[in-house]
């Protein structure tokens, strides 16, 4: 009896192989053949699911977006369910920490994220997904700050748009520096900087 192949599982396996290649060698080396070799598949099997290199890259970036998004939605639900500001504070820090390379898995994601958004500068097919990631961070940060305002956790007179961009830029900068200089921008440094910024925001 022929073996039934789970198409979605196979596509995810191919994407995971692509992520491994990108982590080691960058986006430009993640050709269909290299990805097929990494996944232990014939190149024809990869082409069965992805017609081109660009299609594979776009799907992979969307997959990265979804994986991070699932964790962010879970974290946001916990914040909304919290009853007091003392409970919400650590949950906010944890939620925003999902956007930082604070452990091996998130560091791998940050390496891949940086590789893709850099490639998007010269690959038009990647730009919509890269822009969604950019806007997605700011949407998450904006909602966190809006919730803090609604609960009276921030002082009056703050400009929500400016503070959203400031905090999002802080997260982006920490992630980039951690990828490029992991010995200097350590998880401890990132946690301390984020915690200090949130404390200053709260006055």
56 within a domain of the structure (yes/no): no
pLDDT of amino acid 13: 92
For residues 34 and 97, membership in a common domain is answered with no
Token representation of residue 67: 């994986």
For residues 134 and 40, membership in a common domain is answered with no
For the entire predicted model, the pTM comes to 0.89
| CATH number assigned to the domain comprising residue 38 | 1.10.10
pLDDT of 16-71, one tens digit each? 999 999 999 999 999 999 999 999 999 999 999 998 999 999 999 999 999 999 99
Residue at token pair 């692509």? 18
The per-residue DSSP string of 148-190 comes to HHHTT-S-TT--HHHHHHHHHHHHHHHHHHHHH-TTTS-HHHH
pLDDT level of residue 2 (50, 70, 90 thresholds): very low
How far is the C-alpha of 126 from the C-alpha of 60, rounded, in Å? 10
109 within a domain of the structure (yes/no): yes
pLDDT of amino acid 66: 92
pLDDT of amino acid 34: 96
For residues 174 and 103, membership in a common domain is answered with yes
For residues 77 and 15, membership in a common domain is answered with no
For residues 104 and 168, membership in a common domain is answered with yes
57 within a domain of the structure (yes/no): no
Q: Output the average pLDDT for the chain.
A: 92
Maximal C-alpha separation, the chain: 69
The residue range of the domain holding 175 is 62-201
Token representation of residue 125: 């097919």
Q: What is the CA radius of gyration of the chain?
A: 19
Q: Residue 14 above 60 pLDDT?
A: yes
Q: How many CA atoms lie within 13 A of 50 on its CB side?
A: 25
Mean of the pLDDT values across residues 159-170? 95
pLDDT of amino acid 5: 59
Of 11, 29, 51, which closes a domain? 51
Total number of domains in the chain: 2
User: Could you tell me which residue, 61 or 84, shows the higher pLDDT?
Assistant: 61
| CATH number assigned to the domain comprising residue 149 | 1.10.357.10
For residues 14 and 76, membership in a common domain is answered with no
pLDDT level of residue 82 (50, 70, 90 thresholds): confident
Residue 147's nearest CA partner among 98, 198, 200 is 198
Q: Residue 159 above 70 pLDDT?
A: yes
9 within a domain of the structure (yes/no): yes
92 within a domain of the structure (yes/no): yes
Residue at token pair 């504070």? 89
For residues 20 and 111, membership in a common domain is answered with no
Q: 101: Cβ–Cβ under 8 A, 6 or more apart, which residues?
A: 107, 109, 110, 111, 175, 178, 179, 182, 187, 190
For residues 38 and 77, membership in a common domain is answered with no
pLDDT of amino acid 32: 94
């Amino acid at each position: 009896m022929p073996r039934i192949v789970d198409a979605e599982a196979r596509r995810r396996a191919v994407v995971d192989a692509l992520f491994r290649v990108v982590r080691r060698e960058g986006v430009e080396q993640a050709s269909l053949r290299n990805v097929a070799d990494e996944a232990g598949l014939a190149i024809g099997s990869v082409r069965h699911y992805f017609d081109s290199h660009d299609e594979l890259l776009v799907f992979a970036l969307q997959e990265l977006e979804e994986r991070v998004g699932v964790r962010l939605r879970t974290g946001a639900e916990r914040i909304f369910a919290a009853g007091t500001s003392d409970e919400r504070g650590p949950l906010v820090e944890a939620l925003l920490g999902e956007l930082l390379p604070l452990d091996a898995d998130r560091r791998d994601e940050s390496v891949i994220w940086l590789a893709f958004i850099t490639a998007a500068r010269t690959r038009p097919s990647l730009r919509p997904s890269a822009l969604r990631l950019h806007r997605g961070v700011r949407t998450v940060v904006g909602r966190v700050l809006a919730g803090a305002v609604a609960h009276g956790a921030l002082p009056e007179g703050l400009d929500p748009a400016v503070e959203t961009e400031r905090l999002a830029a802080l997260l982006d900068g920490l992630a980039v520096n951690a990828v490029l200089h992991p010995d200097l921008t350590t998880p401890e440094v990132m946690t301390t900087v984020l915690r200090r910024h949130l404390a200053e925001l709260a006055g």
